[in-house]
Amino acid sequence: MRDLAKRRLQENLSQSLKYLVLVFNDFFILALIFLFGALMFWYAQAMKSMPESLWYYRPLVGILLWLPLLIGKLVTLLKPADLQFLLPEDENLASYLQPMLIYSLIVPTICLVLMAGIIFPFATIKAKIGLLDYIFAVFAVFLAKVLQLKVMEYNLYFNRKISILILNILFLLLLGWGMFKPQSMIIIAILLAAAVFILVLKPRHAALFDWQYAVGQEEKRKNVVYNAFSMFTDVKERQTNIKRRKYLDFLLPKNLASENPHKFLYRRSVLRNPENINLIVRMTAFAVLISWLVQNWVWALCLSCLVVFLTIYQLIPMVDEFDNNIMYRVYPIERTDRGLDLVSAIAGILLAQWLIISISWLITLPINLHLFVAMGCLVVFSWGVLRLYLPAKVKKRK
Amino acid sequence: MTLKIEHLTGGYIGVPVIKDINLEIKPGEVLGVIGLNGAGKSTTIKHILGLLRPQKGKITLNGIDLAAQPTKFKRQVAYIPETPVLYSELTLKEHLQLTILSYQLDEKQAWAKAHELLQMFRLDDKLDWLPIHFSKGMKQKVMIVCAFLANTELLVIDEPFTGLDPLAVANLVELIKNAADQGKMVLMSTHILANSVQAVSRYAVLNNGKIAAAGTLAEIRMHYALKETDSFDQIYQILSQEQQNA
């Protein structure tokens, strides 16, 4: 089982590296350098003007150090097929999970070191925490992470499940309160080390391994990772969890007379497929935010036009979303006007996007004639991209 | 009014699975396609549904050539797959609405029939459910309801009995018999002969991608020299031996 774990970890690492290379491309690295530089510049300026030793500085350090605890769950790399093929291996799972736990510590530890490094000047200069106390505090957070992962491992068996949420709140209180007296960090670290020691040395779980729960948890964890990657690149392993969203049913036509199979399918996909609706919500929120930031109607119009274009552009793959469904191919559905059907299906949503952006302009920008001209221009632009660009692009896709 | 499969050779790119198949189904006939795993049953069905392109041969339904008029051909075909395939975005009610739209059915009449079928398969209180909430058997029942709702001339059924409870099996057999009584054509691939004999009027035995025998139950038994006391399932042992000898 240990060999299997090592093999799976190796495969997982190469898969993650493949996606990380795509995520951290040259442009993203450049953007990150700028963002980090800007943040550090602001931090350095703030450090100069910040008063010293305010009462909340120390617990704030505790809370900031606690944040990396929220990153990373126990990686088990269990697969649905394991329910069948590894079912009699309950007794050997401890040796399988041991390297998994060590692997699970890598990302949270990197995040913790980064966080500890960033807030170090603030903690030592402004919050007046001694170097040794600070090191113990960071070590205590590391031990808390180990403990949290051990509890996640414990939960994989048919034991009474321990809430990770409650555990995290407990750690938050411990670090927040403990930081009021940084000297107590050494005691907290010793207590956490003792807890980890007990859990590691504890006789192996007498309980049965909860396979269904373990596989389900791993699928959820993987989906979170894939969702993060999918913001930058296509992730074929990602599963889409459709949501019913009954409260949006009022947006669907009541009778079938004006419908055809494509419009019928696309409308529901827009509302229920998280990939589509999240994209529209995200892009609309982005347009509102940048309009507010630029505080100028010309820039707001130009950037909002870009957002509308990108929204429509990213919705184009919806046109062949159902191509891999056998029933879609068996049903007598004409495929000639798919582009126009997609236009009909998303027109209402784009109108809502325009409305929200326009309302946000009225609230955040100076109201004058130019603003109303910009609203008119935005709706004409949206209409043009939707009615002219999208069908042409769909035709090209064929 | 017939389904005609003439000299059909096909399969996957570079791998011809079926070779020179000739089949005909007349109105009111239920043809049972039987054979071992890998004999070519599902491949034949995929060709009839237009999911695979034939390497040779022709498939016509009531004179409509599948290759020339695919949509017109498909409007006369309903399909129940071995593994249920549903749209994850659509509720049960919406699957029925999509079937009504795709097959251009009269909404009022279709809903009357749908309610009858939903009651028969105990799905009438699950109209607002998404497929994610259905068990495998329930999904299969949704496929059956949609296929019979379409009211097509030809019904293609691939391994229909797996995953269904005995009550649903009995209901399905009854529906197939009724469809045949109404002059519909049914092509059914199955391994569970005990269930199929109740509905099937003629069999085609596929082995190594070829039609090894075709005829009524009595004719097939005679072809394979099965005694009256022998189980019809023994045919699989004979087919296996034939495969080994080939």
Q: Dump pLDDT digits (tens) for A97-150.
A: 999 999 999 999 999 999 999 999 999 988 888 898 899 999 999 999 999 999
Q: Is residue A45 part of a domain?
A: yes
As a whole-number percent, the residues of chain A with pLDDT over 90 amount to 52
φ/ψ of residue B158, rounded to 5: -110, 115
Q: Which of these, A151, A14, A181, A134, lies nearest to A69 by C-alpha position?
A: A151
Taking 50 as the pLDDT cut, the residues of chain B under it are none
Query: Are A155 and A90 within one domain?
Result: yes
Compare A354 and A396 and report the one with higher pLDDT. A354
Q: Do A269 and B89 touch (CB under 8 A)?
A: yes
Q: Please tell me if residue B121 touches chain A, with a CB cutoff of 8 Å.
A: no
Task: Output the average pLDDT for chain A.
Answer: 89
Q: What pLDDT does A373 receive?
A: 95
Q: Do B107 and A256 touch (CB under 8 A)?
A: yes
Query: Are A41 and A189 within one domain?
Result: yes
CB-based contact B8:B47 (threshold 8 Å) = yes
Compare B58 and A235 and report the one with higher pLDDT. B58
**Which residues in chain A are closer than 8 Å to B103, comparing Cβ atoms?**
331-332
Which whole number is the average pLDDT over A18-35? 84
Query: Are A150 and A283 within one domain?
Result: no
ipTM at complex level: 0.90
Query: Are A318 and A354 within one domain?
Result: yes
Query: Are A202 and A264 within one domain?
Result: no
Q: What pLDDT does A89 receive?
A: 80
Q: What pLDDT does A203 receive?
A: 59
Specify the pairing of strand B30-34 against strand B185-189.
Answer: parallel
Which whole number is the average pLDDT over A19-28? 84
Q: Please tell me if residue B74 touches chain A, with a CB cutoff of 8 Å.
A: yes
Q: How many helices (H) and strands (E) does chain B have?
A: 9, 10
pLDDT band at A343 (very low <50, low <70, confident <90, very high): very high
Q: Is residue A238 part of a domain?
A: no
Q: Is residue A14 part of a domain?
A: yes
Q: Is residue A322 part of a domain?
A: yes
Q: Is residue A345 part of a domain?
A: yes
Q: Do B87 and A322 touch (CB under 8 A)?
A: yes
Q: Please tell me if residue A334 touches chain B, with a CB cutoff of 8 Å.
A: yes
User: What is the secondary structure of B23-83 as a DSSP string?
Assistant: EEE-TT-EEEEE--TTSSHHHHHHHHTTSS--SEEEEEETTEETTT-HHHHHTTEEEE-SS
CB-based contact B200:B30 (threshold 8 Å) = yes
Range in A186-195, A383-392, B133-142 the model is least confident about = A186-195
Which domain covers residue A298, as residue numbers?
246-397
Q: Please tell me if residue B53 touches chain A, with a CB cutoff of 8 Å.
A: no
Q: Please tell me if residue A242 touches chain B, with a CB cutoff of 8 Å.
A: yes
Q: Please tell me if residue A256 touches chain B, with a CB cutoff of 8 Å.
A: yes
Q: Please tell me if residue A238 touches chain B, with a CB cutoff of 8 Å.
A: no
Q: Is residue A321 part of a domain?
A: yes
Q: Which of these, B52, B86, B38, B195, lies nearest to A265 by C-alpha position?
A: B86
Q: Please tell me if residue B79 touches chain A, with a CB cutoff of 8 Å.
A: yes
Nearest Cβ partner of A261 from B50, B101, B132?
A: B101
Compare A123 and A88 and report the one with higher pLDDT. A123
Whether the per-residue pLDDT at A204 is higher than 70: the answer is: no
Query: Are A135 and A18 within one domain?
Result: yes
- Is A389 exposed, middle or buried, given 0-12, 13-18 or 19+ CB atoms closer than 10 A? middle
Q: Please tell me if residue B71 touches chain A, with a CB cutoff of 8 Å.
A: yes
Selection from A20-24, A187-191, A297-301 with the highest mean pLDDT: A297-301
Nearest Cβ partner of B130 from A240, A244, A328?
A: A244
Distance from CA of B177 to the nearest CA of A (A): 23
Q: Please tell me if residue B127 touches chain A, with a CB cutoff of 8 Å.
A: no
Q: Do A242 and B89 touch (CB under 8 A)?
A: yes
Query: Are A176 and A275 within one domain?
Result: no
Q: Which of B49, B101, B129, B133 is the best substitution to test chain A (most A C-beta atoms within 10 A)?
A: B101
The structural domain count of chain A equals: 2
Whether the per-residue pLDDT at A205 is higher than 60: the answer is: no
> Which residue ranges form the domains of chain B, and what is each CATH number?
3-76+152-245 (3.40.50.300), 84-150 (no CATH)
Whether the per-residue pLDDT at A390 is higher than 80: the answer is: yes
Query: Are A218 and A251 within one domain?
Result: no
The C-alpha atoms of residue A234 and residue A147 are separated, in whole angstroms, by: 35
CB-based contact B130:B94 (threshold 8 Å) = no
Helix, strand or coil, per DSSP, at residue B174: helix
Query: Are A255 and A387 within one domain?
Result: yes
Which whole number is the average pLDDT over A279-296? 89
Count of CA atoms in the C-beta half-sphere (13 A) of A126: 22
Compare A77 and A92 and report the one with higher pLDDT. A77
Q: Is residue A237 part of a domain?
A: no
Distance from CA of A262 to the nearest CA of B (A): 9
Query: Are A272 and A342 within one domain?
Result: yes
Distance from CA of A234 to the nearest CA of B (A): 20
Q: Please tell me if residue A248 touches chain B, with a CB cutoff of 8 Å.
A: no
pLDDT band at A161 (very low <50, low <70, confident <90, very high): confident
Query: Are A220 and A339 within one domain?
Result: no
Q: Is residue A204 part of a domain?
A: yes
Q: What pLDDT does B226 receive?
A: 86
The C-alpha atoms of residue B32 and residue A339 are separated, in whole angstroms, by: 41
Distance from CA of A352 to the nearest CA of B (A): 22
Q: Do A333 and B71 touch (CB under 8 A)?
A: yes
pLDDT band at A241 (very low <50, low <70, confident <90, very high): confident
Query: Are A93 and A214 within one domain?
Result: yes
Which whole number is the average pLDDT over A261-267? 95
Of A226, A256, A274, the domain-final residue: A226
Give the chain B residue nearest A322 (alpha carbons).
B87
